[in-house]
Amino acid sequence: MPRDRFVARIDGREIEISNLDKLMYPVAGFTKGEVIDYYTRIAPVMLPHLRGRPATRIRYPNGVEGVHFFEKNKPGGTPDWVRLETLPVPGSTKSRETIEFVVVDDLPTLVWLANLAAIELHTPQWRIGAGPDLMVVDLDPGAPAGLKECCAVATLMRDRLADDGIDAYPKTSGKKGMQLCCPVSGSQDAEVVSAYAKKVADELAAMVPGSITAKMAKAIRPGKIFIDWSQNNAAKTTVTPYSLRAGERPTASAPLTWDEVIAIGTGEMEARQFGADEVLARVEQHGDLLAGLCEGGPAVPT
Q: What integer pLDDT is reported at residue 90 of this predicted model? A: 60
- pLDDT at position 91 is 54
Three-state secondary-structure class, residue 126 = strand
Q: What is the mean pLDDT of residues 164-176?
A: 97
**Rounded average pLDDT over 273-291:** 98
DSSP conformational letter for 256 = -
Radius of gyration of the chain (CA): 19
Structure confidence at residue 270 (pLDDT): 97
Residue 3: pLDDT over 80: no
Percent of the chain residues past pLDDT 90, beyond the cut: 93
CB 57 within 8 A of CB 118: yes
Q: For 30-48, what is the mean pLDDT?
A: 98
Question: 208-234, pLDDT tens digit by residue?
Answer: 999 999 998 888 899 999 999 999 999
CA–CA–CA angle 245, 250, 255 (5° rounding): 65
Class of domain 5-123: alpha beta
Question: What are the extents of the domains in the chain?
Answer: 5-123, 134-295
Buried b / exposed e across 69-83, counting CB within 10 Å, b at 16+?
A: eebbbeeeeeeeebe
Q: Is the peptide bond before 222 cis (omega within 30 degrees of 0)?
A: no
Hey, which CATH number is domain 134-295, 3.30.70.260, 3.40.140.10, 3.30.70.3300, 3.40.50.1370? 3.30.70.3300
- Encode pLDDT of 42-96 as tens digits: 999 999 999 999 999 999 999 999 999 999 999 999 999 999 999 998 655 555 6
Cα diameter, the chain: 63
2 band by pLDDT with thresholds 50, 70 and 90 = low
Helix H or strand E encompassing 271: none
Q: What is the mean pLDDT of residues 159-180?
A: 98
User: What is the overall mean pLDDT for the chain?
Assistant: 95
Q: In the predicted model, what is the mean pLDDT of residues 160-169?
A: 98
pLDDT at 238 over 80: yes
Rounded CA separation 295/132 (Å): 13
